[in-house]
Structures are given as structure tokens and as C-alpha cells.
Amino acid sequence: MTSEQIITVLPYEKPFLFVDEIINISEEGVTGQYTFQKEEFYYQGHFKDNPVTPGVILTEVMAQIGVVCLGVYLLGKESVLEEKLAIALTSHAIDFFLPVFPEEKVTVISEKQYFRFNKLKCHVKMLNAKGELVCRGEIAGMLTNKK
């Protein structure tokens, strides 16, 4: 599957699609990017006069790129393109180090820990445009085709 095909079959759409580009993907991991737009809904009222991206959104960006995109790639069957994908987050543990502000571009790097019985667990980290560590942790989820 190509990066464009993977993004097309993701079960998200704006304003809840947090994948702009998949830079690199393999059996072992994925690297992707997302740019936070200043008009995103979650900035309204999230710190008056100083909008900051909520941690739950940063976690979602890491999950979409680092687990769901990689999971679609690992499922790797043509049927993924024709059928709906069922996804469930099973666990996450994230440490946060730096804030992310509107109009910042982040890079997510995910390394597969294991993928068996349709459960994918990854070590995921997010870097800002300066290459500084924003957050990191482990995220796991279940992925399968709906029939």
C-alpha cells in the first residue's frame, strides 16, 4: 500500500484527521507529520489568549500516525481498501515535555514493539520542527477489517 492509500482508508475526516503526510513506513515503524492549524476547534478557550494544543490531541496525533497508519500497512491486504476498518485503543502511557502551539508542524516517529492477533503496540515519540522532543510513550490498539 502507498502512503496515499493508507491515508485514504483511515476512518477519520477533518476536523479529526491528524495525518498530513506519511514520510516513511515499513514493517518496523512509521514516520509522519501533521501541522496544527490556528483555527482548529480545540484552541477555542484552551488557555485564554495563549492557545496550546491539548495533550489528548497530541496523543491522538501519535495514535493516528504511529498505530493506525502502521496497522493499516501491516494488515497490508487489498481488502483494507474495500472494507471498513475497526479500531480500538487498548492502552497508552505518554510523557509530555514541551507545548505545541497553533501553526506548528510535528513529526511522529513510531517503532513497532509487536503486532500479533491484530494487536499493535508501539513506542511513539513526537518532535517539533526544531527536532525537540515534545512527548513520547507507548500506545497499543486493536485493528481489524469490519465484515
Nearest to 100 by CA among 52, 50, 42: 52
Mean pLDDT of the chain: 91
Supply the pTM of this predicted model. 0.92
> pLDDT band at residue 47, thresholds of 50, 70 and 90?
confident
* 48-102 tens-digit pLDDT: 888 999 999 999 999 999 999 999 999 875 455 556 778 888 999 999 999 999 9
> CATH no. for residue 71?
3.10.129.10
- Nearest 10 degrees: Cα torsion 25, 28, 126, 103: 10
- Nearest 10 degrees: Cα torsion 42, 121, 32, 80: -100
pLDDT at 78: 47
Beta carbons of 31 and 110 less than 8 angstroms apart: yes
* 110-147 tens-digit pLDDT: 999 999 988 999 999 999 999 999 999 999 999 887 66
Beta carbons of 40 and 87 less than 8 angstroms apart: no
| Active-site residue (options: 12, 33, 46, 85) | 46
Q: Is 123 a catalytic residue?
A: no
Domains: count for the chain: 1
> pLDDT band at residue 23, thresholds of 50, 70 and 90?
very high
For residue 95, the enclosing domain spans 3-145
